[in-house]
Each structure stands twice: as C-alpha cells, then as structure tokens.
Amino acid sequence: MKTEKNIMITMKDGVRLATDLYLPDTGQPVPALINRTPYNKDERYDIEEIEAYVRAGYAVVIQDVRGRYHSEGVFVPYEYDIEDGLTLFEWVRAQTWCNGKFGTFGLSYHGGTQWLPAMKNPEGLKAMVPVVTFDDLFNGSAYQDSAKVLHDLRWTVANIIPDIMRRAEEAGEKVTVPVPDVYNCLDKIPLASDEAVKQYGRYYLNWMQHSTFDDYWKKFSVKEHYQDITAPALNVSGWYDIFVRSTLNNYMGMRERGGSEDARKNTRVIMGPWTHQDFSGKLNGFDFGPESSSEALGLTDIKIAWYDHWLKGVPDRYDNGKPVKIFVMGENRWLDAEDWPLPDTEWIPYYFHSSGNAKQENGTLSSVRPAQEKPDTFIYDPMDPVPTVGGQVILPGEGAMGPRDQKETEIRSDVLIYETEPLKEDVTVIGPLKAKLFVSSDCKDTDFTVKLTDVDENDVSVLLSDGILRMRYRNSLEQTELMEPHRIYEVTVDCGATANTFKAGHRIRVAVSSSSFPRFNRNSNTGGSIFFEEADEYRCAENTVWHDSVNASMIILPVIRRKA
C-alpha cells in the first residue's frame, strides 16, 4: 500500500481541502472508495477497514471537510458538502490511478457526505454504503417530529467546537470554553445561551431558528431527492441507533423512487442489535449471542463484495435475492426478508385500559376495544422531566445507549403504564411502530412520548423503541398550530421500529409521558419560544390520555405470525 498525505485540493471557490490517498501497488488504474470526514482524517477508527479495501484492489481517498483540521475554510455542517463532494469526485476520476469508477463509504456524518452529493447524480458514482445516517437533516437528525433532539448539541460541544477553538487560538483570539454539560442543564437557561455555542457553533443557533421544515432544511433532505439518486445503497444501522427510522426510510424510499432501475431493485438494508457507535452485540449487560456482532456477521466482507459487484462486475456472494437482513432480538437470530415492512405483517391494535389511575396501578393492554373508562391524567413539570435511560440515543457515559431497564422511570407519577398479561405464547413484532393517542392538556402546547418495552419474568422492563410528538406540530412539520386547552385531539406518535420476539411469560408494556431528557429538549408548555433568551418561563401541564369507546388510544404493533 502506498500513501500520500495532505494533498491540498482546490474547491470551486479557491478553498483548499486536505486529502489523503491509500493506493494499492498494482500499477493499473483501479476504482476508488471515497470518504469525507469532519473528525480528523489522521485519527481513523477504521484503519483496518481501509487497509482491507486497499488489499481488495481499491484506491481509498479520505478528505477533511471544509473548515476541519488540515483543511482550509469555515466549517458549517453540510453547507458545502454537495459542491465540495462533487469537486473531489471530479478530481478523483481525473487521476491516472483511478479507472473512472468510485463508491463512497462511512458512518454518521460520513453518510451525509455520501447522500448529499449523490442527489446530483455525479458521473462515476456506482455504489454507496451509508452507515447509521439520516434521511432528512430536519426530521430525523436535528429534530424528531419537531421536538429538538440534543445529541447534536452534545456533538457540537464535544466534537466540533474544540477544533474551532484551536483554530481561533492559533489566530490569536481569546477563546470561550463551553459548558461541558450544556445539553443536560436543568436550569431555565435556554439552549442558545451558552457563550461558546454562540461564538463557535453559530450554525446551531441557525438550526434552532429554523424550527419548522422550511426551505433551509429542504435543500439537505435526502428523502426529497430519491428520484435523483441512481447509485444503489447498502444501508446499515442498529435497533438502538438514533437513525433507525432514517435508515429504513432510505431503504424504502430508494426501492420505491430511486433514480435508476439498479437503485430501485438493488438497494439493501442491514439492521443489527447495535447502537450508533457499538456493533459488538453486547450492550449494557445484554448479550445478543455469538452471531450478533458486525464482526461475526462479516460486515466488512459484505461491503467489499458489494463494491466488487458494482465497481468490478463480480457476482455478489452475499446477495441471496432478499434485500433486507435484520436481527430479531429475543430469538437472537438473523432474518433475511423480501422487503420492509415484511410482506406478511399483521397490524394489530393493542388498546389502552385503566380505571383512571395508570400512573399508580398499571393499566392494561389488550386487543379488546375499550368501553366507558376514565382517562388517565398526569402533571408534566419541565423542571423535573422524565430522565432518558438508554435507547436510541447518543449520550456520554457508560451504558448511556442501548437496552436499559426502565424501572426507575416507570415508577414516576408522570408516567402512565399499560401492559399485557404474561404472554401465553411468543409474539414476534417486526416493523414500524405507531401509537394512536387521544389526548388533551390544559396548555396551548406540550409533548407526548411513548415507549415500548419487553418485560421479563423478573420485571426487567427493557426499552425497545420510543417516540415523541410536539403538539404544535401535530398536523404539519412546516407550520405550527397551538392547542385549545382541554380539547381532545387524535394524534399519531411515530415510535420508530424494532424486531423483537416477546417470549412466553413476558409482557408487552407501553409507557406514556411528556418528556425524555436530555434526549429531547423540554417543552415549556406555553406555546411560546423554547430556545432563545426571550423564551417564556416554563410552566407545568396537566395532560390527559383518553381511552374509551369514542377515544380509543392504542399502539399498533406489526406482528409476524409465521415462523420466519
């Protein structure tokens, strides 16, 4: 392998970006695999994968994106990644060591640097492998059903600001150090108040100013442009990744609307028992078995076979005609399927029931529609939110991501619990999760959260997936509509997706509340500004979940009856 470091490639506006090459010593033109990163190309977590690509006969090209580490310019997330990516692609294709064909690879932000220029259908792009990445920078990355996620504030403070501060110091500026835990503060300081975020993360203030799906976000929306993307994608994620919905949306969107027959017929998806950062299959004391890790699956070999097919014309030995490979938790086995959602899915409503006291005496879940029942009411206090405990998050600390027992949150007075009786037989749930709620509040705006957990014989309540809805966006992500206090609204909460078999003797449990902090920012319940210095004071909300013959709240589970 031959390497060349810090080649400065000039972009259309004259800014130069630092680029490294890893070249096979073949003496012949070869296809290239390209990765663009904001995380410092000199500190690669995936060097073994890069070396495997070179051994397989690929030139590997790694570039620091604009404004990061060795590259010139100012960093604004994704703002320049379409044009800069296209410029790099053109440069690669013009090199004597490249045969004119290339693919892209990488995870998280690197997924964006694949999808965004792919929307322009660049010549020579034949295949992508976007791992744990978004389908839309607004709904699915910066926001989730218009509730502000906070992992990107943690990302800004921990991953982005330090290099911006380094550059400022080298330029002779006096820097402001960020509050390390700014995204986890419970005082009444709005998100935009941290001086370091104001100084070095101005883009983040812009993200908060654009709190609806407007033209600012639409230019970064992959899902708006599937028809323009002709390269097939091998999508990879995990059931505890922040981008579960996005990954599956990218698969479905490309299969339905991809810009070429190859993209529509051959886009694939792999979903493992993984988080955004951990593909080991061993999470927080939960071991999903010897076949659950990406290493046991042979994920790098799968990627190489994918590239070999699309860039070299070699038959893909991993292509068995079933484009969906998912890991079914509970049974701890891989399942190959014809499509997503699985074609023989039965959508079964599980209705909420209680005597009006589901926050103290657990309510029930059943397939029987409710008759006349008292609603459940709780007080949501933004100054005492339900804490985030594991799940589909990126949070610091040991055990912060992935499956966790929810017991400490489920005993709270602001959490409603509905659960089945112990199951008499296994119930396999594979697919998207939706909750249909009938709710009211004494406020103009509030949030509703829904969690799905698997409760074993020892009452360990393992989180599978969850969702949130900010009520002012219940009808549209493009404009707000405040609530009329005490009026009952029918709403749908997108709870992500899962693949899990609830074993006989276990219970299916749903928890409903109004917060999950610091996964999501807290709703002030006033209907006013939440983010900036002029934000209204927080107030408590009295929130109600209705379940009766007219207002039948439920969760709709995708049940697979056959033994797949």
Q: How confident is the model over 277-304, as a mean pLDDT?
A: 97
- 84/90 Cα distance (integer angstroms): 10
Contacts of 68 (CB under 8 A, 6+ apart): 37, 38, 39, 40, 75, 163
pLDDT score at 136: 95
- Report residue 548 as tokens: 């009766």
Q: How far is CA 118 from CA 66, 79, 112, 129, in A?
A: 18, 15, 10, 12
The C-alpha atoms of residue 353 and residue 547 are separated, in whole angstroms, by 6
pLDDT (average), residues 158-186: 87
Lookup result for tokens 């590997």: 60
* Choice among 241, 278, 445, 466 that is catalytic: 241
Paired tokens of 361 = 């005496």
pLDDT tens profile 388-446: 999 999 988 888 999 999 999 999 999 999 999 999 999 999 999 999 999 999 999 99
**Which run of H or of E encompasses 307?**
helix 299-312
- What are the structure tokens assigned to 422, written together? 């112990």
Backbone angles phi, psi at 181, to 5 degrees: -115, 35
552 pLDDT tier (thresholds 50, 70, 90)? very high
Taking only the tens place, the pLDDT of each residue in 208-233 is: 999 999 999 999 999 999 999 999 99
181 has pLDDT over 90: no
pLDDT of 397 reads: 84
The mean predicted confidence, pLDDT, of the chain is 95
Section 492-509 average pLDDT: 98
444 burial (CB, 10 Å; 0-12 / 13-18 / 19+) is middle
Q: What pLDDT was estimated at residue 71?
A: 98
> How far apart are alpha carbons 127 and 2 in whole angstroms?
24
Whether 94 and 68 have beta carbons less than 8 Å apart is answered as no
Distance CA 82, CA 117 (A): 4
pLDDT at 292: 98
Q: Check pLDDT > 70 for residue 533.
A: no
Catalytic residue among 276, 353, 506, 547: 276
Alpha helices in 71-223 (DSSP H): 81-93, 109-118, 151-155, 161-170, 195-200, 202-209, 215-218
Beta bridge partners of 96: none
Predicted TM-score (pTM) of the model is 0.96
Sole residue written with tokens 């990107």? 152
In tens, the pLDDT along 429-445 reads 999 999 999 999 999 99
Cβ neighbours of residue 348 under 8 Å, at least 6 residues apart? Answer: 367, 556, 557, 558, 559
- For the cut 90, the answer to whether the pLDDT of residue 72 exceeds it is yes
Instruction: Please report the domains of the chain, with CATH numbers, ordered by start residue.
Output: 2-135+225-337 (3.40.50.1820), 147-210 (no CATH), 346-560 (2.60.120.260)
The answer to whether the beta carbons of residues 410 and 463 sit under 8 Å apart is no
Tell me the mean pLDDT in the region 20-38. Answer: 96
Q: Which residues, including other chains, have CB under 8 Å from residue 199's CB and lie 6 or more apart?
A: 175, 176
Has 225 been annotated as catalytic?
no
Closest CA to 407 of 362, 446, 368, 367: 362
Question: Which tokens sit at 117?
Answer: 């220029």
Yes or no: say if 364 and 420 are a contact pair by the CB < 8 Å rule. Answer: yes
Q: Residue 70: is its pLDDT beyond 90?
A: yes
Query: Residues 6 or more apart from 564 whose CB is under 8 A from it?
Result: 328, 335, 337, 342, 428
Query: Quick one: tokens of 303?
Result: 């990627």
Res 265 pLDDT > 60: yes
Given the residues 64, 71, 81, 108, the one annotated as active site: 108
Instruction: Say what the pLDDT of residue 192 is.
Output: 73
Q: What's the token pair of residue 5?
A: 């470091």
What angle do the packed helices 47-55 and 299-312 form, to 10 degrees? 40
Half-sphere exposure (CA, 13 Å, Cβ side) for 386? 30
Q: What is the pLDDT of residue 176?
A: 84
Q: Is 108 a catalytic residue?
A: yes
How high is the pLDDT of residue 188? 64
How many Å apart are CA 163 and CA 66, to the nearest integer? 12
189: confidence class by pLDDT, cuts 50, 70, 90: low
Compute the average pLDDT of residues 63-70.
Answer: 97
- pLDDT score, position 535: 66
